[in-house]
A = this chain, B = another copy of it.
Amino acid sequence: MTPARTLWLDERSRVLTLDQTRLPFEQVTIELDSLASCRYAISAMQVRGAPLIGAVGAYGLAFGLRHDASDEALQHDFEDLLASRPTAVNLRWALQRVADRVRPLPSTARAAAAWHEAGAICEEDVACNRAIGSHLATLLRAQAQRRDGARTGALDVLTHCNAGRLATIAYGTALAPFYLLDEIGFPVHVWVDETRPRNQGASLTAWELGQAGVAHTVIADNAGGLLMMQGRVDAVIVGCDRVAANGDVANKVGTYLKALAARAHGIPFYVACPSSTIDRSSADAAAIEIEARDARELSHVRGRLADGSSAEVQVIPDGSAAFNPAFDLTPAALVTALVTEHGPIPATSAAIAALFAEH
């Protein structure tokens, strides 16, 4: 089934999206109608995922320009929005694109142009994701043909975190192939890593695959190594927060462990990677700063009580410290391919340079 859009406009030109902190048990639509509401949505992780953050940032800048379209305000609003999630290279990219588009214009024309540019970013995201999904679907179908006779039934693909439609405007990146394969009736089953500490897999990926009717099973982050050893994983597909110029990948913490296991068992490890996520100013993983998030994300777990209400339970004793790095780094050598909207490429400096030279 084709998944719904994650961000859309209403008749009054407000930006509507889901409050992802309320999923999977409550489907709450939030209305963004100011720079402040966009900034809050990003920093409070009501929206998350590089492309969706970028789109909401772009709309945030457009809202800011409606209020004050001076050069000073543009610069201030740009910095203000960027600070809401400093690790997200896609946010900087989207803000820069809107700023570059409007800066040459007279101030009276800037707000409308920014609004238009934000819309264009969204439409390009949808097209980009469909392209990535199509390339990944082709790789998965080829993988299915390589399976030995003992492996029948749906192709089993493991994913970590949520690089799905909830991380983008539509389709997602790492999950896009599952929607496209489902549309044509190709049997696929997704192992969904729970993705501690924020449980984006257990909550968001499971929810969106369930909404679209895609077969899936949630597993503890700890289980993937065993499943690979048992021959129950045909491929791994993850998204990325940032890819360095040499192909090293920053993605949700835990990605690296799955890449090591995939390599140990000869399983393809694909990174769904819009070219906008490649940060050529980072030479390699060592240049990427790792955001340490609040330890409370680890010490407290939000979920649904038996009576249907939402609650947070503490799982670590008082007095025990916790450390919560948000991302980890997967060396390029462990990546089978970076799958961009232009197709799969090796995770190498040369291939990345060639991609940018060509497009």
Chain A residues packing against B (C-beta within 8 Å): 24-25, 192, 194-197, 199, 202-203, 206-207, 209-210, 216-227, 229, 252-254, 256-258, 260-261, 264, 290, 298-306, 311-317, 319-325, 327-329
Asked whether B206 lies within 8 Å of A320 as measured between CB atoms, the reply is yes
Tell me how far the C-beta of A272 lies from the nearest C-beta in chain B, rounded to whole angstroms: 19
Q: Which of A218, A305, A325 has the most CB of B within 10 A?
A: A218
Asked whether A320 lies within 8 Å of B226 as measured between CB atoms, the reply is no
Interface of A (DSSP majority class): mixed
Q: For A215, give the chain B residue with the smallest CB separation.
A: B321
A258: chain B residues at CB < 8 Å are: 257
Q: For A230, give the chain B residue with the smallest CB separation.
A: B290
Tell me how far the C-beta of A216 lies from the nearest C-beta in chain B, rounded to whole angstroms: 7
Alpha-carbon distance between A290 and B230 when the two chains are bound, in angstroms: 11
**This chain: copies in complex:** 2
Asked whether B329 lies within 8 Å of A202 as measured between CB atoms, the reply is no
Q: Which of A199, A209, A254 has the most CB of B within 10 A?
A: A254
Asked whether A218 lies within 8 Å of B304 as measured between CB atoms, the reply is no
Once A216-B320, A317-B210, A320-B206 are accepted as A-B contacts, the answer to whether A328 and B221 lie under 8 Å apart by CB is no
Asked whether A220 lies within 8 Å of B253 as measured between CB atoms, the reply is yes
Tell me how far the C-beta of A19 lies from the nearest C-beta in chain B, rounded to whole angstroms: 16
Once A199-B315, A210-B317, A218-B321 are accepted as A-B contacts, the answer to whether A328 and B229 lie under 8 Å apart by CB is yes
A324: chain B residues at CB < 8 Å are: 219-220, 223
A325: chain B residues at CB < 8 Å are: 223, 226-227
Once A210-B320, A260-B257 are accepted as A-B contacts, the answer to whether A220 and B197 lie under 8 Å apart by CB is yes
A306: chain B residues at CB < 8 Å are: 312
Q: Which of B203, B221, B227, B313 contacts A316 (CB 8 A)?
A: B203
Asked whether B217 lies within 8 Å of A321 as measured between CB atoms, the reply is yes
Alpha-carbon distance between A203 and B229 when the two chains are bound, in angstroms: 28
